[in-house]
Amino acid sequence: MTEGKQDNQLGSTSVDTGNIFKIELDQCNSAFGISADTLRLLAASHNVTPEALITRAVTMWAQAVIPDLDLDSPSLTPAQIELLHQRQQTADANTTQPQQTLADAFRKLLEGTGENHENAESRRPRDGGHS
């Protein structure tokens, strides 16, 4: 990448050029991403382009983390923007902490399960468990 670090840097393997993004994928699948081959095959299995699949995935992610996201609105509300800034500050604080071991990561993951976990609501059936 030839661009210098920007305040809104996307990451070491992506370049933001306005409304177009260049994403470089790893050669193999990992816990942090999928390979280009996997992306292509997954997209083809849904009869969409890889770009459409990525856009849909990011849309679903945005819907999961931004309260009352209006997909018909071209911009976020000030409250939604503030929420994202707070998430970024939390993420920044977490990245400056010492690296945790794999055992610590699993322990944290196991502690985060159950009804009181932040993602517990998303694991419940949409019909309330009734058929």
Least confident range from 29-38, 41-50, 108-117: namely 108-117
Task: Please give the pLDDT value at position 46.
Answer: 95
Give me the mean pLDDT over the 70-79 stretch. 94
Task: Please give the pLDDT value at position 12.
Answer: 45
Task: Give pTM, 2 decimals.
Answer: 0.55
What rounded mean pLDDT belongs to the chain?
Answer: 78
Please enumerate in sequence order all residues whose Cβ is within 8 A of that of 10, keeping only pairs 6 or more positions apart, or say none.
Answer: 16, 21
Give me the mean pLDDT over the 14-29 stretch. 81
Asked if residue 56 has pLDDT above 50, the reply is yes
Split at pLDDT 50, 70, 90, the class of 11 is very low
Measured CA to CA, the distance from residue 100 to residue 107 in angstroms comes to: 11
Map the chain to HEC letters. Answer: CCCCCCCCCCCCCEEEECCEEEECCCCCCECCECCHHHHHHHHHHCCCCHHHHHHHHHHHHHHHHCCCCCCCCCCCCHHHHHHHHHHHHHHHHHHCCCCCCHHHHHHHHHHCCCCCCCCHHHHCCCCCCCC
Asked if residue 127 has pLDDT above 80, the reply is no
Split at pLDDT 50, 70, 90, the class of 126 is low
Task: Please give the pLDDT value at position 110.
Answer: 83
